[in-house]
Structure 1
Amino acid sequence: MASGRSERVYHQDYIARIRYSNTLPPPPNPPKLLDIPGTGIASNNYTSASYALKLAREQPLNIEADAELGMPIDLVGLPGVFDGDESDPPPPLHPKDRALLKPLSALGKPTAMNSGVSFLRRTEYISSNAAAVQRFESSTSKDLLRVRNDPKRRKAPPVNRDDPINIIRSLVKGFDVAYPEDAYTGPDSETNIRGAPITEADRSAWKKPKHPTKPNLTLLDAYPLLPDMDALPMTGDYQIVKFSTNPVAQSDSYDQRLDTALLRPLGADLALLEEHGESCFQFQRIREYETYQQAGDADNAYGDTVALALHDTGDRLEKGAYFYPVKQRTNLRPKRKTPGPPEEGRVEHVDVLHVNVRDSNSDEAAMRSEAQAALDPTTESA
């Protein structure tokens, strides 16, 4: 009698044993057959290590080795050793190798040999260098002070690269190289800091830039990195939302519905009633999605992802690479139907959305002005 229950399926891994062939070539010479007398297994000679050593000692060697094992150590037997035959002279010595052939007496710190100095002499500096004697000819306090305050002898203080002021100076130097007419040359203040000194190598690197790892590449065009102030929303950042699967059916033509997305907040708020006679955009409900992966930095919109768009000279934007901060990246997947009552205050089925477009109010305009002022200090916040 067959039961109505569905049998549970158990998954079991199959382990297959695979043998790999390791075919070795045959030996060049046939093996040597030894006539080993059979003493029987009872004598236990086959299992002892001395039995194999005894067989190896009894076999004569085919190679005749002399006392020096083939290496002629005795030079008397070599022809032309004592005849002065120098037909094969050694190669000439390289100039870089001459320092390796110095005698032991020449190694070490050289000492000054002053044979003309007597034991009884006045108190003064002794040096093997005549210039050094003339330099310290007079040891008055005035001369010592002059040598100490010599700017050529004074060493520059070490620069701390981790100092925030030095980091700002290095950043300002990059802008000074790009825009020398706008470089600030006054004293440091709370609002303006002078950039680090610009060297000739910095100017050459700006005029003829090279790839750090591929010097053979040639620069074709350059774009200044600028913010798109008019495209900033009131929050000051964007969000990237991706579908885990294709939201539309497979087709050869492009579905224009993919160009529009509506994000409905989870919190319940008051619905804004549509005024009479006002047109709106109507969107049909296809299916509902939920978030399952989110990434980003809520405190820093530039710390995770930044969108970049290249624009040539046009009507709205000048030539440049415009960046758009992305604070959050979200992945969507189709929402599964969960059994049980729906959440309190949440609308489960929204068949049609009527969307109206209006101008920003005062609060939204103030938020947008603050976001623009964070990128451009000259922008006045409302």
Structure 2
Amino acid sequence: MSKKSSKLDLLVRVRFENPLPDPPFPSKLIKVKTDISRLGDPAYLDQLASAAPAPLLLDSEMGMPIDLNNFDGVWDGNDASLNPTLDTVKLEPGDAALLAPLRILAKTANGAPVPSSVKPEVSWMRNSSYIQRRETTRRRAAAEAVQEEEADASEAAQITAIEKSFLDLHSQELAEIRHPHPKRKHLRAVESYDVLPDDDTWSSSYILLKFPERPSAATAQNPSAKASRGRLDRALLRPVVEEDQALVDFFLPKEEDLSRVSALEEHPIDSEAAAEAVELSAEGKDDKVDELFPNVTYERIRTYEVVSQMVPEREFLITISEEAIEDENEEEDMFGDDEPKRKKRKGAFYKPISMRSQLRKTLQKTRSDTPWDKVRLGYREPAETEIEEREKMARSVTDSTWVQDQTDEGHDTTLLETNAEIN
């Protein structure tokens, strides 16, 4: 068995030399005087022209037919005989496809497009996430470039589309629902909820606050103080507007007063008693205030500074109701002639968040107002105007005719403005 050697046994290195003597003078550029017109003299081409004679055989018409009578139909406006078709052979439809340009034939095989295995402008050294991001952007741009079909925007078509969405949802089984993410296809739906606006909280405003750390009862005098979950759930935030910044005072109740806070919610006072309690508090008669107005004292823990505020676009407060709940505000029907009590159906109820704020700790600074070290918390019954205002705000989700009423009001306002301009 022969073994091939990887080395060459006969390897001779030969070095060829070509010694040239150094020039007797240093190299430099020499300017030769010459006439530019001499270089453009055509006399240099006389010898070349005589060596390659070009015989010219011209007919009497100098290569251009001028007797148009020899062409049929030329006087009738038919110039087909003057411009004959170069290729008059009739091709079969199958053979005609072979005459397509090469750039088109290279992309097809048997009439079908051939996918390219190599993506243009993509190198194996590039980052895969960068390539994927570019592909996603390119696909999105291509999808936006496609002309969308004209949708029927009539009121009847919109109602039909909405009703069809509910029908499709309720006719679908939970086992058939899959997660839309391609990497989470294994997840299955366990329970489904109807997503509805929360009419109980729709007239209220909710703010999402981001604290620099977990709130507690720690102060400068007692930095190790802790606060239970019950105290944090009952915390109060009082906004303070300064000239150059916005501040928020953070108040907490005492641990032993948590039970009283819950009890005060069930025994609110009327508006007249609340106004009288405010007057007594301004006069400094705290003992009479406590007799007239049941309250709980809150202590100021610290002051935060508002760093940023923004209105979120897609942030909601979700409340999930597992079972149908009766309306607690519905009065009892003693005679049985009223409509049945309204129940809050099972579902996921949402309320858009009005504001999102970020807080940070602030040092003790000189404030334009006197800071409140303590506040009294009590409850009063809402006034009639407040109830009407909340009901008006809640009508946008509880009254099915609210949209039509708003449209009619806007139309009436436009008519009034038009009539005023005419008059």
TM-score (norm 2): 0.40
TM-score (norm 1): 0.44
Greater helix percent: which structure? 2
User: Structure with the greater relative contact order (CA < 8 A, sep ≥ 6): 1 or 2?
Assistant: 2
